[in-house]
Every structure is written in C-alpha cells, then in structure tokens.
C-alpha cells in the first residue's frame, strides 16, 4: 500500500512539474505625477536601456531613471503619438503621430507629411523599420521609405489586394511584411518575390467566421505579429485573436481560451506558441496551452493574476501589484522585464525569478 502511495505521489509531482510556470512580475507604474507626458499611453518601445512612450500629449523618453518629454514645440509632428519604433542599426526613433511621421535622429526631428513627402496620409497609426526600409501604416494606405535613396512607395487599392485603405498596424520581418487593415483583414507582402496576398473573412462579409478555426476570425484587425522562425502569424482583432501556421487557422475567444476579452488592441508574438495580448480587460499571455492574465480586478481594482490551465480551470494567484489599468494598448520587452502601455499610465513589470 505504501509503495502504491509513493508511486501516486511521484506521478502527481511529475504532473505538477510538467505544468509550465507562468511569468510573475512586480509592477511599478508611471503617470504624469512622476514625469510621463500623458496618462493615456498608446504604445511603448524599448530601445536597449531607453524606453519610449507614445502618449496622447507627447513622446516620452525614460532614461537613467528620468523622463524627458518631446512635443511639437521641440519639433515633433503632432502631440498625439500613436506608435514608436526604433532602428536597431542607427538608433533613430520613428514616431507615428496624428499629424505625420517623425524621425528623431542626432537630437532633432525630421517630419514627413503628405505635402512634404510620399506619405500616404498624415494620420499615421504604425511604423516598422527593416534595414533601409521604413514601413508605415496610415488612414489612407501604406507607405515605404527607402532611407538610403529617399524614395517613397505607396500601397493602396490600386497596387495591392487592399479593398479597404485604412491600415491600422504594420509588422516587418526579413521574409514577410504584414499590414492589419481595418475592415480589410490582413495584407501580406513577400519580401523575396515582391508579391502581395490578403487574408479575409472566409464568408466574404465583415463578420465573425461561422465555424471554429475556419479562417481569420474577423476583418477588423488591429495588430499583426509574425514569428518568422516558426512561420506563425498572430492577428489581433476587436472580436478575438487568430493564429495561422501557413495552412491552418486557430481562433481564440474569451469563452474558450484564457483571453479576458475579445476586444484586442495588440498582439506581440515571442514565437509560434507564446504571445502577449493587450485587451480592454487586462494583459494576457499564452505559452501554447496555459494562459495568464495580469490586471487590476475589474470589480475591486485590487491587483489580480489569473491562470487558466489546458483543462480550462482558472486559478487566482496572490499578488501585491498589477499594471496601472486594465485597458491595455501595447507591450514591449526589456530582457526578462515587460513594459505595458495602458489608458491610465505606463507600467514596468519586473520579472520575479
């Protein structure tokens, strides 16, 4: 009997050991009270030891424990900054604003608008840097700037499969470039062949797919993230998330996954199985089977961490801190740490090991 108990104990221990441990963080937050340009943070970009915050009232730089703020008086194209991307080769910063695209280089801004360049529209939602190319998502299509030659290329309904021109986000990798097209699904550019391909609702209408995993979950896409090494595309929409491996789609809804909400602002992939989701009801992470959610509780506002295992069982994990707000708009990573843009502040998650 004793031997049987030992065997059962070993099996149970092995099962527990096999269950992956979700990342845990100690959270600290920044608001206008301690230097942030504005509490509404659209996006965050980590550039080595520097952290850039795209806010509703300026571009913030956090460096050496202090904030520096840039606004139109300093040369920024517009006070409302929607996205920030860093060029890893040059250290230049590209800011997508409501009044054009700004490049911060050597301590000064150079601005690009419809009138002064080949930018498709002054309302710029996203920007991605890949080698000499800067890819831009605007309210009237996409643009690409060759920083070496200064040449601009426009992408719209005339030279791509895009039937909606409101591009909401762009993700560039050495092999593929993806646009999230508002009401138009996902647009894919093959870097090697120069060919375009689109992914839309398989039913042919702007509605959720009728059958599970039939295709892209919805055509109102907000973000795309391509895990190039694994060949996996992740897509965020206002009606759930999708994952595509080149042949098959897998869709995620809050009713059958660990997503706290179907309203997604951003997805950021780590690889083919792991991704972070910015939602209106918290920050979510999946490692393939298990989910974690980080947020202030929706009813009490107290710090909360939820774990949903592969069987669908949800556990509440005790925690003392949480991101600044449950409405999350974007994330970026600094080694093992994570930075989170929310509607009421910027949060720094320090990994607990």
pLDDT tens digits, one per residue of 79-109: 999 999 999 999 999 999 999 999 999 999 9
Lowest mean per-residue pLDDT among 15-29, 48-62, 118-132, 208-222: 15-29
**pLDDT tens, residue by residue, 276-286:** 999 999 999 99
Domain that includes residue 138, residue range: 71-155
Three-state SS sequence of 262-280: CCEEEEEECCCCCEEEEEC
Q: Is there a single domain that holds both residue 204 and residue 106? A: no
Cα 20–Cα 44–Cα 83 angle in degrees, nearest 5 = 125
**pLDDT tens, residue by residue, 235-259:** 999 999 999 999 999 999 999 999 9
Residue 118 lies in a domain: yes
Tell me what pLDDT residue 281 has. Answer: 98
Tell me what pLDDT residue 13 has. Answer: 37
CB neighbours of 81 closer than 8 A, spacing ≥ 6? 42, 43, 54, 55, 56, 58, 59, 95, 96, 97
Lowest mean per-residue pLDDT among 12-26, 51-65, 135-149, 332-346: 12-26
Of 106, 123, 155, which closes a domain?
A: 155
Of 155, 177, 210, which closes a domain?
A: 155
Tell me what pLDDT residue 320 has. Answer: 97
**pLDDT tens, residue by residue, 161-218:** 999 999 999 999 999 999 999 999 999 999 999 999 999 977 655 555 556 788 999 9
Cα 250–Cα 276–Cα 284 angle in degrees, nearest 5 = 90
| C-beta of residue 181 within 8 angstroms of C-beta of residue 187 | yes
Closest CA to 26 of 268, 344, 320: 320
List the structure tokens of 348.
């720094």
Tell me what pLDDT residue 160 has. Answer: 97
| C-beta of residue 291 within 8 angstroms of C-beta of residue 298 | no
- The full DSSP string for 279-312 is ETTEEEEESSS-EEEEEE-TTT--EEEEEE-TTS
Is residue 167 packed enough to be buried (19+ CB in 10 Å), middle (13-18) or exposed (0-12)?
buried
Lowest mean per-residue pLDDT among 9-23, 212-226, 310-324: 9-23
Average pLDDT over the chain, rounded to whole?
Answer: 93
CATH of the domain at 94: 2.110.10.10
Residue 18 lies in a domain: no
70-86: average pLDDT: 98
Tell me what pLDDT residue 10 has. Answer: 37
Q: Three-class SS of residue 103?
A: strand
Is residue 128 packed enough to be buried (19+ CB in 10 Å), middle (13-18) or exposed (0-12)?
buried
Q: Is there a single domain that holds both residue 231 and residue 251? A: yes
Q: Is there a single domain that holds both residue 138 and residue 217? A: no
Closest CA to 160 of 145, 181, 139, 146: 181
Q: Is there a single domain that holds both residue 203 and residue 112? A: no
Q: Is there a single domain that holds both residue 165 and residue 248? A: yes
List the structure tokens of 174.
């050495």
Of 155, 181, 205, which closes a domain?
A: 155
Confidence band of 77 (pLDDT split at 50, 70, 90): very high
- The full DSSP string for 63-85 is ETTEEEEE-GGGT-S-S-EEEEE
Residue 28 lies in a domain: no
Q: Is there a single domain that holds both residue 165 and residue 269? A: yes
Q: Three-class SS of residue 12?
A: helix
pLDDT tops 50 at residue 1: no
**pLDDT tens, residue by residue, 120-151:** 999 999 999 999 999 999 999 999 999 999 99
What order of strands is seen across the sheet that includes strand 124-130? 124-130, 133-138, 141-146, 152-155
List the structure tokens of 186.
């996902």
Helix or strand (DSSP H, E) at 4: helix 2-18
CA dihedral angle for residue 328, residue 332, residue 335, residue 336, rounded to 10 degrees: 20
């Amino acid at each position: 009997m004793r031997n049987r108990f030992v065997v059962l104990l070993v099996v149970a221990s092995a099962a527990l050991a096999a269950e992956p441990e979700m990342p845990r963080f100690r959270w600290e937050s920044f608001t206008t009270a301690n230097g942030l340009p504005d509490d509404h943070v659209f996006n965050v970009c980590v550039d080595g030891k520097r952290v850039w915050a795209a806010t509703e009232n300026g571009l913030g730089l956090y460096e050496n424990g202090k904030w520096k703020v840039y606004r139109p008086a300093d040369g920024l194209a517009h006070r409302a900054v929607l996205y920030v991307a860093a060029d890893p080769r040059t250290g230049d910063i590209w800011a997508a604003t409501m009044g054009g695209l700004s490049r911060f280089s050597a301590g000064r801004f150079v601005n690009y608008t419809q009138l002064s360049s080949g930018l498709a529209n002054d309302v710029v939602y996203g920007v991605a840097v890949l080698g000499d190319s800067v890819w831009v998502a605007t309210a009237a299509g996409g643009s690409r700037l060759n920083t070496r030659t200064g040449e601009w290329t426009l992408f719209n309904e005339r030279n791509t499969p895009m039937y909606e021109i409101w591009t909401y986000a762009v993700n560039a990798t050495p092999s593929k470039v993806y646009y999230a097209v508002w009401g138009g699904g996902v647009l894919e550019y093959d870097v090697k062949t120069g060919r375009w391909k689109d992914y839309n609702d398989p039913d042919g209408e702007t509605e959720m797919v009728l059958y599970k995993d039939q295709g892209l979950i919805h055509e109102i896409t907000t973000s795309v993230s391509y895990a190039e090494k694994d060949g996996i595309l992740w897509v965020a929409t206002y009606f759930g998330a999708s994952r595509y491996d080149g042949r098959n789609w897998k869709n995620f809804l809050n009713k059958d996954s660990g997503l706290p909400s179907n309203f997604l602002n951003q997805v950021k992939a780590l690889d083919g199985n792991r991704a972070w989701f910015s939602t209106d009801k918290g920050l979510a992470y999946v490692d393939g089977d298990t989910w974690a959610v980080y947020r202030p509780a929706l009813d009490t506002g107290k710090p909360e961490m939820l774990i949903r295992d592969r069987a669908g069982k949800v556990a509440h994990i005790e925690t003392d801190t949480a991101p600044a707000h449950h409405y999350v708009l974007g994330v970026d990573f600094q080694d093992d740490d994570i930075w989170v843009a929310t509607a009421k502040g910027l949060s720094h998650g320090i990994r607990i090991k």
